[in-house]
Structure 1
Amino acid sequence: MDEAPSPLSEAELNARLLYRDGLMLVIDKPAGVAVHRGPKGGANLEAAFHWLRFGLPRSPALAHRLDRDTSGCLVLGRHHKALEKLGLLFKQGKIGKTYVSIVNGRPGAEEGLIDLPLGRRDETRGWWMKVDPAGQSSQTRWRILAKGPAHTLLALTPLTGRTHQLRVHCAAMGFSILGDPIYGEGGAIPLQLHAQKIEIPLYKNKDAVRVEAPIPESFRAALESCGMAGAEFG
C-alpha cells in the first residue's frame, strides 16, 4: 500500500504544536485536513506524525478525532500506556472541551443545554447521525458569545462525545453551524467550528493540563462577514 502523503511539512507541523510532555502532545489541527487515512486514501495528518516522535521509537497516535473541516485542539498519545490513559479519560467524559462556532440564526436564550440522544441515520455510513429517541444519550451546553444580524457566535461544550454531536445538536435546535454541508445549509463557506480549548486531568495531585488553540484567521474573516468583527472569545 502506498504511503499516504502528509498535508503539512515538518516545520508547519511543529509550528502547530501547542503542548508537549512525556505522555501527550496537543496540536492545532488545520481545517480541511483529515486526521487519518480514509478508505479512499488521500492526504491526512496522521501521515506526518513521524515528525513528532521527539526521541521516542514510535510515532504518537490519535487519542480522539476531529472532523476534517473542524480546526483546533487535537490530542495525541505518545505511547501505548499514554493512549490507554487518555482513551479512558475521554470515555469517562473527564476531559473538558470547548468549541466556538458561528451558527445560522439565533437561539431563543443566552445559554442552554441540548439533551437529545443520537443514533446512526444509515447503518452503512456510521458517521451520518440523527436525533433518535432510541440512540445514545448526548448532551451539549451552549452559550452566546456575540450576535450578528443573521448569525450568532456560540461557545459549545459537549458533555458526551458522539460522532458529529455538535453539528447535529445545533441543526436540531434550529441554529445549524454555518457552512455545514451535511446537517446545515452548506454553501461556499467551510464549516465554522473550532476546538478552542481542552482541559485534561492527566496527572494525579496536579492541576489539569489546559491548552488553547488560537482562532484561525479564516474564522475571524467569517465573523467579520457576518457582522461580528471583534467578537470576544472568553
Structure 2
Amino acid sequence: MKDIKLIVENLENGSRLDSYISKQLNNISRSYVQKLIKDGKVKVNNEIIVTKKQKLNENDKIEIEIPEPEKLKLEPEDIPIDIVYEDEDVLVVNKPQGMVVHPSPGHYKGTLVNALLYHSKNLSSINGIIRPGIVHRIDKDTSGLLMIAKNNIAHNFLAAQLKEHSINRIYNALVHGNIKTNSGTIDAPIGRHPVNRLKRAVVEKNGKKAVTHFKVIERYSNYSLVELKLETGRTHQIRVHMSYIGYPLVGDPLYGIKKKKFNLQGQALHAKLLGFRHPKTLEYMEFNSELPYYFKSLLKKIKGY
C-alpha cells in the first residue's frame, strides 16, 4: 500500500479532482485515478470522495491510497517501435512522446517494454520482469533516444558508464522566457520536494549532486530553444533545473506554467543525442535523432507569433 498526500496550490483552484490528481501523478493514467476515486481510495479534507468531478479549492488536502500493484504477467505487444540501431548486445530506440517506458500502476499495456518483448527474445534480466532490458529511462512525455541491453553483461557495462557519467546525453527543449546568456551550467542538488512527494526540487538537505549544461540554440520573443547536456541523471533533472533558474519547459505539467497555450501532451523535451561505448567492441557509438513532429509543429507556432 502506498499513501500519497497533496495540497492544492492557488493556481489549481477550481480544478476537477481526477484531472488534478492525474496531472500531479504524471506516471498514473487518468482512468486509473478515476478507478481509485470510484473505489473510495481518495479523500479530500479527510472525507472520502466518490465523484471524479469534485471541484478543488486552494489548500485542500488530498489523500490517495494506491494499492500494491498486481503481480504482472507481461505480454508482448505488436507495437511499432523506431529502432535506430540493433546488434546482439544493444538496442537503441527512439521513443515517441506519450509512451511509458515500463509498466506501472495504470500503465500495464502499451509500454516500450511490451513492444520490446514482442520484438526481441533476448533482453537483460537485471532489473526484473517489469523492466527487462531497461538501463535508463526518460519520462512518458519526453521523446527521444534510449539504449536497451539485450543481455546482462551488456547491461552491467552500460550501467557502469551511467554511474561514472561517461555517457553522452544531449536534449533539446523549448523553455519559457528569453535566456540572456548564450550558455551556462546549473550545479544544484536535487532531491524530493519538501511538500509534494511526487515532485523533485533543488534542495540542500538530502539532495544529490546534479549538473546540467545548457546552450541557447535560438531565441524567440518569449521563448528559447536550448540544448542541454546531462552530466548527472537525476529524476526530472532538466525539468527541475530549468524551472529553478526561471525558464521552465513549455508544456511541463509539474514544473511549468499551469496555463496551457499550445494544447501540448506534455513537456517539449527531446532526447536528441546518445553516445556510449559498446559493451563488446568498446568502440564509442553515437546516435542522433531529428526533432519529432510535435516539437517541430510547436516551433512553427512559436515562430508565427
* Bin of the TM-score, shorter chain as denominator length: 0.7 to 0.9
Distance 2:227 2:107 in 1: 33
Distance 1:123 1:209 in 2: 41
Q: Which runs of 5+ in 1 are unaligned?
A: 230-234
C-alpha displacement at 1:5, in angstroms? Answer: 6.8
Is 1:88 the counterpart of 2:154 in the alignment?
A: no
Distance 1:124 1:180 in 2: 16
Distance 1:77 1:123, change over 3 A: farther
1:39 is matched with which residue?
A: 105
Amino acid at match of 1:25: L
Distance 1:106 1:5, change over 3 A: farther
1:9 is matched with which residue?
A: 78
2:291 is matched with which residue?
A: 215
Amino acid at match of 1:99: Y
Distance 1:141 1:174 in 2: 15
Once the two structures are superposed, what CA deviation does each residue of 1:170-217 show, in whole Å capped at 9, x if it has no partner?
A: 000110000001001142323100000011022587541101122101
Once the two structures are superposed, what CA deviation does each residue of 1:26-48 show, in whole Å capped at 9, x if it has no partner?
A: 00000011101112333311111
1:232 is matched with which residue?
A: none
Q: Between Structure 1 and Structure 2, whose CA radius of gyration is higher?
A: 2
Amino acid at match of 1:172: Y
Greater relative contact order, per chain length (Cα 8 Å cut-off, separation 6+): 1
Tell me the number of residue pairs that the alignment of Structure 1 and Structure 2 aligns: 223
C-alpha displacement at 1:227, in angstroms? Answer: 1.0
1:198 is matched with which residue?
A: 274
Q: TM-score, normalised by structure 2?
A: 0.67
C-alpha displacement at 1:91, in angstroms? Answer: 1.1
1:50 is matched with which residue?
A: 117
RMSD: 2.4
Contact kept, 8 Å, 1:146 with 1:228, in 2: the verdict is: no
Contact kept, 8 Å, 2:123 with 2:151, in 1: the verdict is: no
Distance 1:228 1:202 in 2: 43
Picking from 246, 258, 270, the partner of 1:174 is 246
Picking from 145, 168, 187, the partner of 1:115 is 187
2:202 is matched with which residue?
A: 131
